[in-house]
Copies of this chain bind each other. A is one copy, B any other.
Amino acid sequence: MSQLATAIDLSSELQRVDSAVLKRFESRSILLNAASRYLLSSGGKRMRASLALLAARLLGEPDAERALNIATAIEMIHAASLVHDDLIDTADVRRGRPTVHSKWGGNVALMVGDYLFALAAEQMAEASDPRIIKTLARGVVRICEAELSPVTDVVPLQRTLEQYFAKIGGKTAALFECAAESGMMVGGGNDREVEALRQFGYEIGLAFQIVDDILDFTADEQTLGKPAGHDLQEGTITLPVIYAVEMGASEVVREAAQTFEPSPELVAAAVAEVRRICATKRAFADAERLVANAVKRLAIFPDSAAKDALIELAELVLRRKM
């Protein structure tokens, strides 16, 4: 995350997170080692680790070791949930590289995920704060719930928005929330401060996923590492689609959203229509509002480099291109 270098330099800490993660991969199973290393070396931005590390610093210098433990556990949970998520979506490619299950098969992907969850639990035990373990375990529970909660239709608006926010709230925002919240716990925050960070994390997590869902319509195939309209192709209804229908898009959008395994032509037509009607702009306005709210949560904290960096991180969520 070199983009954050102006306010605070996390690079050496993030490197320590990466080596802490890799150090854990000393399994007797060659396959588990190989697949775990492959997964963790696939160039993630370590957003969640950064969030935890910065939240921990908001009230002064935290216990660096404990902050690192949390950040490491969170990145492991994130990797575990990605590998299981890809297995459920039967996604062959992530960040332009073959997924673990397409490279080694579903059984390895299943076990690598379980293995990383277990390593994360072990890592959390090092932090030895039961509140943090509970927070992260609850985060995983919410990820599981969200995986099994589909957005069932694009209308009626009220219901579909509820389903969408419930889904991305678990799938993505839960772990951002846990990262910020547990970081603040390590940093010694009181209940009000922990709650402020929880909401900060939740809101930027929602914004992160909304931007992700927008990019699936606006980014080119090379940047995405997969064709645009991938979500529609997979039957996943996201905010731009919901808004497009609400804004009176042609029938092609709803048709693509409701057809089981729509043709690439139908998906391409729906993508063009979502763009034409500027539904992604309306979705982006929601993301901006969420980030603005999140930043306001930080008002209760004294000014500091960590606070500036958290604000930067929140705004970075809106600027990301992939």
Chain B positions within 8 Å of A130 at CB level: 125-126, 128
User: Is A122 interfacial (CB 8 A cutoff)?
Assistant: yes
Indicate whether A137 sits within 8 Å of B110 (C-beta atoms), given known contacts A29-B149, A128-B130, A145-B32.
Answer: no
Instruction: Give Cα A143–Cα B32 distance, bound, in whole angstroms.
Output: 12
The A contact surface, by secondary structure, is helix
Interface flags for A138-182 (1: CB within 8 Å of B; 0: not) read 101101110111000000000000000010000000000000000
User: Is A198 interfacial (CB 8 A cutoff)?
Assistant: no
User: Is A95 interfacial (CB 8 A cutoff)?
Assistant: no
User: Is A22 interfacial (CB 8 A cutoff)?
Assistant: no
Residues 90-126 of A at the B interface (beta carbon under 8 Å):
107-108, 110-115, 117-119, 121-122, 124-126
Q: How far apart are A23's CB and chain B's nearest CB, in angstroms? A: 14
Q: How far apart are A82's CB and chain B's nearest CB, in angstroms? A: 12
B111, B113, B144: the one within 8 Å of A29 (CB): B144
Tell me how many residues of A have a C-beta within 8 Å of chain B.
42
A133 near B124 with CB under 8 A, answer yes
B29, B111, B122: the one within 8 Å of A134 (CB): B122
User: Is A1 interfacial (CB 8 A cutoff)?
Assistant: no
A117 near B133 with CB under 8 A, answer no
Instruction: Give Cα A95–Cα B122 distance, bound, in whole angstroms.
Output: 32
B29, B131, B137: the one within 8 Å of A118 (CB): B137
B28, B81, B107: the one within 8 Å of A147 (CB): B107
Q: List 25 A-B pairs, Cβ < 8 Å.
A: A27-B141, A27-B144, A29-B144, A29-B145, A31-B148, A87-B110, A88-B111, A107-B148, A110-B110, A112-B144, A114-B140, A114-B144, A115-B141, A115-B144, A117-B117, A117-B140, A118-B138, A121-B124, A122-B133, A122-B141, A124-B133, A125-B130, A125-B131, A125-B137, A126-B130
Query: Given contacts A115-B145, A118-B137, A118-B140, could you give 5 more A-B pairs where the C-beta distance is less than 8 Å?
Result: A27-B145, A117-B140, A121-B136, A121-B140, A124-B133
